[in-house]
Chain A
Amino acid sequence: MMRLLAALLLLPLSGALAQQQSGEPSGGAPSVQSAAPEVGAGRGGTGNANQPASSDPQSVTGGPRPERVAPKPRVPVEPITAPVPYSARGGVEAGALEAQHAEKGGVISGAVSIPNQAAGILIQPEGRDWRGFRTRILSIAGAVILLGTVFILAGLYLLRGPQRIDAGRSGRTIHRYGVFERMNHWMVAVSFVLLGLTGLNITFGRAVLRPVIGAEAFTALTWTGQAVHQFLSFPFVIGLLAMVVLWLRDNLPSKVDVAWVKAGGPMAKGHPPAGRFNAAQKALYWFVVGGGILASVSGYLLMAPGLLDNVTSQQWAHVVHGLMAMVMMAAIIGHIYIGTIGTEGAFEAMATGQVDYNYAREHHSLWVDDRLAEARRTAVGAD
């Protein structure tokens, strides 16, 4: 209808403009039209383009309109409640909220429009508790545990002296640890000692070493130490897993261990019978395996913060890591004492793989019996 009207109005105009307006080029029109239309066509010249023919009111187009019915509201109508006055909205008070969270714990968090969603934590009061752990609990407990162990062992050495082989050295040896067992032991041992020293530097170095060597040197040392700590975690963990494979069977608890403990363990008069490992060694084994897994898992979580993008979990990982490390170091100090100066004939086992026959007889009688029985069987079999 509109198009018809437009065509009627444009009839008196030149053919080119009419084609442009209708948008339908006629068959005879050139494909490229002149950029400049003819003078007089809608350019203020003589032609009165697009002007209505008359000023009389035009007749309404279209038929009569259908009557529209306004939608009716549901009955009964739910009243729209008045909005809360602006001054009373929320009702949160920063100081009160912070005090409440500081007392009960838990973070105050919200939404952020940056990719790092962990940044949505506005205030985390747990940081204060962790600060207390780092500056007081871990330092004091760690120092007490480690120095206490050293003092106890020093006292033991001075008062009781090393445990001698009662029967004296026999001059004959028995094979106790294979090459692979020893290499694995020393891999774990070296990495553990370096892990321990670099870890202690992180915990105590600021108070102990930094005033002595200066801030720059201390940062250089700690930076290197941190790298050493992270890289040596791998041989430590691999060695620990190898220990699980190598020594699990000989460390399963048995009735002999109960008898060994009941007889008084290391303080017993004489030597209660024991297998390849006595109950104390088994306890150390399980402690090192369990503690090592805890310490390494928590350590890896701290090492790769992307794994645990949550500050509270990272605090707990540090607590587990720190405490486990301190207790393990104390246990290993004891292990080093017993394995070196504390017991005559013990160190050779891990150094050469051979122990004196009398040492084995006294400390691991059941294991020696087994070995001898096995040796006899193979000897008989060879015959």
Chain B
Amino acid sequence: MARMKFLCDSDRCIECNACVTACKNEHEVPWGINRRRVVTIGDGKPGERSISMACMHCTDAPCAAVCPVACFYGTEDGLVLHDKDLCIGCGYCFYACPFGAPQYPRVGNFGGRGKMDKCTYCAGGPQQDNSAVEYMQYGSNRIAEGKLPLCAEMCSTKALLAGDGEIIASIYKERVQQRGYGSGAWGWRTAYKEELPA
């Protein structure tokens, strides 16, 4: 099976935040939770660049390693998903995650953490594919419908790529060759122990 990955071409990203909006709308993510966000490095300065970031679905995922209840599981597409029925909202995955992907609804009087929510690569959760229960907990399951994640699908500049890691890497390499520059694949070294030379 394919090893699904995200790749954000920061030389194309225009910080329109449409990926963020698309994600929130597609999965009806609650207030205050952003599964995806756009971070602008050196905002307003020459050479500023924006990177759209969500869960990178790491190889050897740190969240899965530190979870006290072992609620994470991997899919055959190489995705890192979690079971909200097992999650206890302890926050350990947030401490370990290099990308700040895990999000928690604030619950209770102390603003404690509810069950963790993160990017599912539009692949839902452990429930029956595209069932109402799955939609309630994880949002829609586009992968089961044969579609790619919506954030990447509707990126206006095609900065955000999703799909088989080798294919999106070759698309990126071709771009870099044609235009003659590129800042590399953000997060790939951390997530996949792999670099795309610019």
Residues of A within 8 A of B (CB): 84, 87-96, 98-99, 102, 108-116, 118-125, 127-128, 130-131, 134-135, 201-203, 205-206, 210, 215-216, 218-219, 222-223, 226, 230, 302-306, 311, 314-315, 318
Contacts and interface: CB of A to CB of B under 8 A. Distances in A.
Contacts of A109: 39, 41
Contact of B86 (A116, A131, A215): A215
B41 A205 contact: no
B116 interface: no
A89 B47 contact: yes
A304 B112 contact: yes
Contacts of A304: 110-112
Interface in B99-155: 99-100, 104, 106, 110-113
B68 A222 contact: yes
Given A94-B186, A94-B188, 20 more contacts: A89-B46, A95-B189, A95-B196, A98-B190, A99-B189, A110-B51, A111-B39, A111-B40, A111-B43, A112-B38, A113-B15, A122-B99, A122-B187, A128-B62, A202-B68, A202-B90, A206-B69, A302-B91, A305-B111, A311-B100
A10 B196 CA distance: 76
Given A135-B65, A202-B90, A130 B96 contact: yes
Nearest to A125: B98
23 contacts: A92-B47, A94-B189, A95-B196, A98-B187, A109-B39, A110-B42, A114-B37, A115-B32, A116-B34, A122-B41, A124-B99, A125-B190, A127-B98, A128-B98, A131-B66, A210-B69, A219-B87, A219-B88, A222-B69, A304-B110, A304-B111, A305-B112, A314-B94
A119 B15 CA distance: 15
A150 to B, nearest CB: 23
A7 B69 CA distance: 87
B157 to A, nearest CB: 15
Contact of A88 (B10, B91, B113, B181): B181
A306 B40 contact: no
Contact of B110 (A110, A112, A303): A303
Interface extent on B, as a size class? Answer: 35 or more
Interface of B: 10, 15, 17, 20, 32, 34, 37-43, 46-51, 53, 62, 65-71, 85-92, 94-100, 104, 106, 110-113, 179-181, 183-190, 195-198
A108 B10 CA distance: 15
Contact of A113 (B38, B94, B106): B38
Given A94-B188, A95-B188, A202-B68, A112 B40 contact: yes
Contact of B183 (A94, A121, A135): A94
A113 B70 contact: no
Most A CB within 10 A of own CB, among B89, B98, B189: B98
A68 to B, nearest CB: 36
Given A95-B188, A110-B42, A215-B69, A305 B183 contact: no
A334 B42 CA distance: 55
B97 A206 contact: no
Contacts of B183: 90, 92-94
Contact of B95 (A96, A114, A130, A205): A130
Contact of A114 (B20, B71, B89): B20
A219 B71 contact: yes
Contacts of B37: 112, 114, 119
B144 to A, nearest CB: 23
B88 A95 contact: no
A262 to B, nearest CB: 46
Contacts of B181: 87-88
A376 B94 CA distance: 64
Nearest to A223: B88
Contact of A110 (B39, B185, B190): B39
Contacts of A314: 91, 94-95
A94 B185 contact: yes
Contacts of B65: 131, 135
Contacts of B100: 118-119, 121-122, 124, 311
B49 A92 contact: yes
A98 B95 contact: no
Contacts of B190: 98, 102, 123, 125
B62 A305 contact: no
Contact of A210 (B17, B42, B70): B70
